[in-house]
Amino acid sequence: MIRAMTLTALAAALVLTACGKPGERVRFEGNYYPAKLSKSGDRREEFVVTVSDVAQGINGARAAGRFAGTTYCVETFGDSDITWQPGYGPEDGSAISDNGSLILRGSCVKW
């Protein structure tokens, strides 16, 4: 169920971004949330997403982080399945850094 919802959301976001002009930013709940994804350690499937401007709304920040992780996994491994680290998943959304950024940690599930 969650996988189907994630795939649907990703497909909708990709379709919408494909129709936009080059350089337009993807918005969540009407706001732009800068998200930076980096590998976590030596394993390519493990990553950390840092989402800025969380004060605009936690739900939009969670969606932006989920989108960044899903996009990375699809582009890198061809699958959108992600195992989120307990306490650091988009639904938890409780890991806020000192500078007010949302931190998500996950691992792409390879087939």
List the domain range (segments joined by +) for residue 59.
2-108
pLDDT tens column, 16-51: 444 445 467 899 999 999 999 999 888 999 999 999
Number of domains in the chain: 1
The C-alpha atoms of residue 92 and residue 104 are separated, in whole angstroms, by 9
On the question of pLDDT at 52 being above 90, the answer is yes
Q: Is the pLDDT of residue 88 over 60?
A: yes
pLDDT of 55 strictly over 80 = yes
For every residue of 42-91, DSSP letters joined together read TEEEEEEEEE--GGG-HHHHHHHHHHHHHHHHHHHHS---EEEPTTSSTT
Does residue 100 or residue 21 have the better pLDDT? 100
Q: Give the confidence band of 2 by pLDDT, cuts at 50, 70, 90.
A: low
